[in-house]
Amino acid sequence: MTGLSDNIQMTNDFRWIMDIVKNVDVGLVLLDKNYDIQLWNSFMQNHSSLYAEDVMGKNLFKCFSEIDEKWFNRKVESIYLLKNSAFTTWEQRPYLFRFNNYRPITGRAEFMYQNSTFIPIQDLTGNITSICLIVYDVTEQAVNNLELAAANAKLERISKTDGLTGLLNRKAWEDQLNNEFDRLQRYHQESSLIIFDIDHFKKVNDSYGHPAGDEVIKCVAEITQKCIRKTDFAGRYGGEEYVILLPHTAVSAAEILAERIRKKIESQTISYEDLSINITVSFGLSQYNDSLKSATSWIDSADKALYISKENGRNQVSLFTHAPA
């Protein structure tokens, strides 16, 4: 009777374990050495719309072509070699199986984000005979984290951006200038700086009003942004004053850029309501020089060149000449 009772108990235990396997709220997949599917629980069935009889004994990659076979092989090879479990998170790879996201709370996600665990299954001699995959639905956590990261990135952009022009604000631009100055002191490369402002801008405000003046400021910023490279840094330095930092750029190339911007602005008629406004701008340029003591002295040298442009009649480009070392 004892043997019979033991058998009944083992049968009950097995059924109990299988009920857990079938109904646990994570995906369970068992693969043999050929990656043929040996176990497929209810979680996998519900989210893949494939019944166990549809996939049992079939190759994983033939059933799920979205799985990167080379990546998967490398993952499993390390498990066989080290006889340790392995993991992959949604940050590393958004999903192992591309399942639709059905949760209403996280309905903004196109697919189910997943964490996955790879567990080696060993026989009594210690040889690995199969791999168990555990798939966790972490969509809610992933969506929350992604939305938080996006919100933080947006706040960071706002904190660095001039609200009127979309250029870098003064603080953000000066941070770039200081970083570039520190780099140049170490590597002694070419880099140039441009400062420019709108000629007689007070007359624009007095004649057409401040809203029209704002439109002029925005138009100058748009032209500037279209003329520079992605590696350049344009900012609004104050009222009607702008700055451009040009890494890895000789002053001769900076002068060509400044002339291009100057001519485009001079030829542009700015429309605001029923007004047509024409303006000019004046430029001061300075190339980095080892004699400069600080980033502030660098921009001061460009500002001196701007003053020369204004003294000589405005609507022109002037270069600062550093004294010989």
- Active site positions, annotated: 240
- 101 phi and psi angles, rounded to 5 deg: -95, 120
141 conformational bin, left if phi > 0, alpha if psi -120 to 50, beta if neither: alpha
CA distances from 46 to 29, 40, 93, 112 (A): 13, 10, 22, 13
Contact 281, 221 (CB under 8 A): no
Q: How many CB atoms lie within 10 A of CB 200?
A: 12
Place of tokens 């080696």: 120
- 28 phi and psi angles, rounded to 5 deg: -125, 125
> From CA 41, how far away is CA 102, in angstroms rounded?
18
> From CA 308, how far away is CA 317, in angstroms rounded?
9
> From CA 140, how far away is CA 107, in angstroms rounded?
9
DSSP secondary structure of 189-207: --EEEEEEEETTHHHHHHH
Contact 133, 48 (CB under 8 A): no
Which two tokens mark 255? 């002068």
